[in-house]
Amino acid sequence: MSFMKKSSSVVYWLGNSLYLNITNRCPNNCYFCFKKFKNGIREFNLKLRKEPSSNEVIKELQKVINRKNWSEVVFCGFGEPLERLDCVLEVTGWIKKYSGKVVRVDTNGQGYLLNNGKDVVKELKKAGVDKVSVSLNAHDKATYNQVCKPEFENAFESVLEFIEKAKEDLDTEITAVTIPEVDISKVRKLAKRMEAAFRVREYIPCFW
């Protein structure tokens, strides 16, 4: 049995992957978001008291990156990583230079709304990001607004635009979580039309 640490974790791990928890901010308010119900995962407390600087993330990574042969490093925590595009770019640059590991960003796909005027996908590609996993969770705007409760009025359209751009430059997958409001077969069809890979994420709260 493991006990949750009091101090918050910027870097945590599950299986063969290392995860980076760089922010707790997010422009969505999904009713199923784990941060509403849990403080973290396993012994890792993911509620940040303050956001770490890029250097602080790198320092934490240095402690564990050689601990085993991690298959990938994933930006995925209790918030949307592209709230902090600069941090993602800087830390990715360091990972690529230091270890060459595969880097994935798990995102809600609202990077263009969060980083006005920036070509987010091109910047991710240039920094060395290999993959993006985009939580779409809906086949249309009404469902998206119902389950994800976005701050931005045109969030759904912008997520689709992000996917269109990402698949040109990055290994891109669309994901959806199994909740009653989401018609998985319709999201799968949408992913097929967009020619992007699709993965269903089981909603298992007791896992956390």
Q: Which two tokens stand for residue 159?
A: 């997520």
User: Binding to ligand SF4 by residue 9, rule CB under 6 A?
Assistant: no
User: Binding to ligand SF4 by residue 83, rule CB under 6 A?
Assistant: no
Residue 151 or 195: which CB sits closer to ligand SF4?
151
Which helix (H) or strand (E) segment holds residue 44: the answer is: strand 44-45
Residues 200, 69: Cα–Cα separation, whole Å:
27
* Cβ neighbours, 10 Å, residue 13: 18
Q: Find out whether 35 and 27 touch, Cβ atoms under 8 Å.
A: no
Which range in 6-14, 30-38, 114-122, 168-176 contacts ligand SF4 by CB under 6 A? 30-38
Alpha carbon distances (Å) from 68 to 1, 64, 72: 22, 8, 11
Binders in 147-176 for ligand SF4, by CB under 6 A: 148
Residue 33 or 194: which CB sits closer to ligand SF4?
33
Q: What distance lies between CA 12 and its chain's CA centroid? A: 14
Which range in 28-36, 65-73, 82-90, 162-170 contacts ligand SF4 by CB under 6 A? 28-36
- Window 105-144: contact mask with ligand SF4 (x via CB under 6 A): ---x--------------------------x---------
Please give the single-letter amino acid code of residue 175.
T
- Window 91-110: contact mask with ligand SF4 (x via CB under 6 A): -----------------x--
